Structure 1
Amino acid sequence: MKVLVTGGAGFIGSHVCDEFLAAGHEVIALDDLSSGKRENLDPRVRLAVHDIRSREAAELIKSEKPQVVCHLAAQMDVRRSVEDPSFDADVNIRGMLNLLEASRVSGVKKVIFSSTGGAIYGEQDVFPAPESHATRPVSPYGASKAAGELYLGYYRAQYGLPYVALRYANVYGPRQNPHGEAGVVAIFCQRLLSGQGCTIYGEGKQTRDFVFGPDVARANRLAFEKDYVGAINIGTGVETDINRLYALLAEAAGSTAPAAHAPGKPGEQLRSCIDNSLAKKVLGWEPGADLREGARRTLAYFRQKQASPERAHG
């Protein structure tokens, strides 16, 4: 099978490429390299450098005719979405529609969409949140991901295009960008290894559901192989506060330095955790790495990258 992965040179996307390659599929990565990196990709992956909003991106789908499109490319910075909601919508909604239109006329068999389990539910009523939980995002980023799911429902109803919307928890792991706002694990890893201090905003009691990147990639492959259509949470169902996260990473780094604390960020969610029981039932998916193991492997990647940047693949 031929698989097109948008955002394929990025952190999660490159792991998705690896997962499909390992399963014997032909893989094409579509990425504008605004944040993705060529070195994240296995040499067997073909890279097409285009913006998902472009005519060239649509023409790539029409000419290559992939059986499945894994759509990960996105404007994913929550703070940037608040500062510039029009840009967020342009990339995340208009860009997605460009790909969906090309997919429906090109015979794509399934679209696997990277949605969000953190931002789509907003402040949760129950923990962990199931897929039936109300979606009430409190950022333009969360709103654009919710809109993406609604458009997928439309394309399914109107054109019979099957889809799965994978609602990720807080994804971390090797290849994560330590310079973006979305990657607290990567930021802590880089700072711990370089001997710099780490800062926790607020008391550090805010919780997140941390899920390992390669486990998320496996969920994409399983979503392709199974017949299910709809939204599925991909998380661990375990709440971890930021103080605990820092302690695990410091332990893995061999550091005894305490983290500094700064005033909390306004509007930050206090708790976030998603129920993965549907993923277990319909995909046969469950997380493979707990946070201690994932933290150790992620830190090892950043340590290797620091020692020899050109050889770290992870």
Structure 2
Amino acid sequence: MNVLVTGGAGFIASHLVDELIALGHAVHVVDNLSTGREENLNPHAVLHRMDIRDDRLADVFREVKPEAVFHHAAQIDVQTSLKQPLLDAEINILGTIAILEQCRDYGVRKLIYASSAAVYGTPDYLGVDEKHPVRPLSFYGISKHTPEHYIQAFAALCGLDYTILRYANVYGIRQDPKGEGGVISIFVDKLLRGERPLIFGNGEQTRDFIYVKDIVRANLAALTQGSGGLYNVSWNEQTSVNRLLDVMCGLSGRDFNPVYGPARPGDIEHSRLDNQAALDGLGWKPVYPLEEGLKETLAYYERLYSRQAM
């Protein structure tokens, strides 16, 4: 199958590209490499180096004629969205519309869209299911939710099939600790450099951490299942930031010695996504407990940092 992956040189989507190629698909990647890295990209993938808002996007769709599109290209940093809301909206909303127009014009069978738990805002209850009210606290949450409506409208008007996946807090190998880095990649970087990690707030805020390999498995399931569906992709478990760092310190043999700073605007206190709909609709369930995913992630970066020190 001809498959196109936007943002395919980034953290999550580069792992997806690897698995698609391993399964025998012909994979094309659209990525401007603003945050993605060319070294992440599988050598068997074809890279089209451009922004998803580029007028040349039509040429890529005309050439590739993809049957399926995995849309991961995005502005993903909450704090950037608060400082630059126009940029955030241009990339996440207008960029997605540009992808949808090409899907319509070139007969794409299915779009799989990477959305976010940020769409829900402060939870009314835990675990948050797909029926929970959508009240995003940040512009990022708004710009990830708005495309869901466009996708559903394009589906109704043009017959485009789709699956929307709302990710919990994703972590794993290739996550960049700089810029949009998640808390785990930032902690890994600090611990391996012998620096004290910074925790915003008191550290008792909780998140639902999901390993990148489980995210990839959900995307692959969505190729053939979950037609017209919207699914949380999560472990369905709460872990406090303090507990997270404690586990990481234990696995890496480092001391638990963080610096605490003020809580950040736009951050919620607690999060846990119910994943029952994905279990039912995608035939998917997570298989990497937090400690196992952390072991793999730490081992990878320990090898990487050791090579860099040589």
1:105 equivalent to 2:105? Answer: yes
Give 1:93-132 correspondences, 5 Å limit.
Answer: 93-117=93-117, 119-132=118-131
Name the count of aligned residue pairs. Answer: 308
Say if 1:191 and 1:198, in contact at 8 Å, map to a contact too: yes
Say if 1:237 and 1:276, in contact at 8 Å, map to a contact too: yes
Q: Which residue of 1 aligns with 2:250?
A: 251
Aligned partners of 1:37, 1:70: CA distance in 2, in Å?
18
Aligned partners of 1:267, 1:73: CA distance in 2, in Å?
22
1:266 and 1:93, CA in 2 relative to 1: closer, same or farther beyond 3 A?
A: closer
The TM-score with structure 1 as length reference comes to 0.96
Aligned partners of 2:180, 2:20: CA distance in 1, in Å?
28
Secondary structure of the residue aligned to 1:176 is: coil
Aligned partners of 1:176, 1:68: CA distance in 2, in Å?
25
The TM-score with structure 2 as length reference comes to 0.97
Q: Which residue of 2 aligns with 1:72?
A: 72
Say if 1:58 and 1:99, in contact at 8 Å, map to a contact too: no
Aligned partners of 1:226, 1:23: CA distance in 2, in Å?
17
Identity %: 43
> 1:228: how far off?
2.2
Aligned partners of 2:21, 2:304: CA distance in 1, in Å?
23
Q: Which residue of 1 aligns with 2:60?
A: 60
> 1:154: how far off?
0.4
Say if 2:166 and 2:233, in contact at 8 Å, map to a contact too: yes
1:257 and 1:242, CA in 2 relative to 1: closer, same or farther beyond 3 A?
A: closer
Q: Which residue of 1 aligns with 2:269?
A: 270
Segments of 5+ residues of structure 2 without an aligned counterpart are none
1:182 and 1:137, CA in 2 relative to 1: closer, same or farther beyond 3 A?
A: farther
Say if 1:82 and 1:139, in contact at 8 Å, map to a contact too: yes
> 1:227: how far off?
4.7
Aligned partners of 1:44, 1:154: CA distance in 2, in Å?
34
Q: Which residue of 1 aligns with 2:28?
A: 28
Q: Which residue of 1 aligns with 2:170?
A: 171
Amino acid at match of 1:303: E
Amino acid at match of 2:6: T
Q: Which residue of 2 aligns with 1:307?
A: 306
Q: Which residue of 2 aligns with 1:91?
A: 91
> 1:182: how far off?
4.1
1:296 and 1:8, CA in 2 relative to 1: closer, same or farther beyond 3 A?
A: same
Say if 1:120 and 1:142, in contact at 8 Å, map to a contact too: yes
Say if 1:62 and 1:105, in contact at 8 Å, map to a contact too: no
RMSD, matched Cα: 1.1
Secondary structure of the residue aligned to 1:27 is: strand
Say if 1:169 and 1:235, in contact at 8 Å, map to a contact too: yes
CA offset digits 1:236-287 (Å, max 9, x no partner): 1101110011011111211124212122223420011101001111111111
Which range moves more in the overlay, 296-305 or 262-271? 262-271
Secondary structure of the residue aligned to 1:225 is: coil
Secondary structure of the residue aligned to 2:223 is: helix
Say if 1:69 and 1:112, in contact at 8 Å, map to a contact too: yes
Q: Which residue of 2 aligns with 1:228?
A: 227
Q: Which residue of 1 aligns with 2:297?
A: 298
Aligned partners of 1:227, 1:207: CA distance in 2, in Å?
29
Which range moves more in the overlay, 270-279 or 53-62? 53-62
Q: Which residue of 1 aligns with 2:200?
A: 201
1:46 equivalent to 2:46? Answer: yes
Q: Which runs of 4+ in 1 moved over 3 A?
A: none
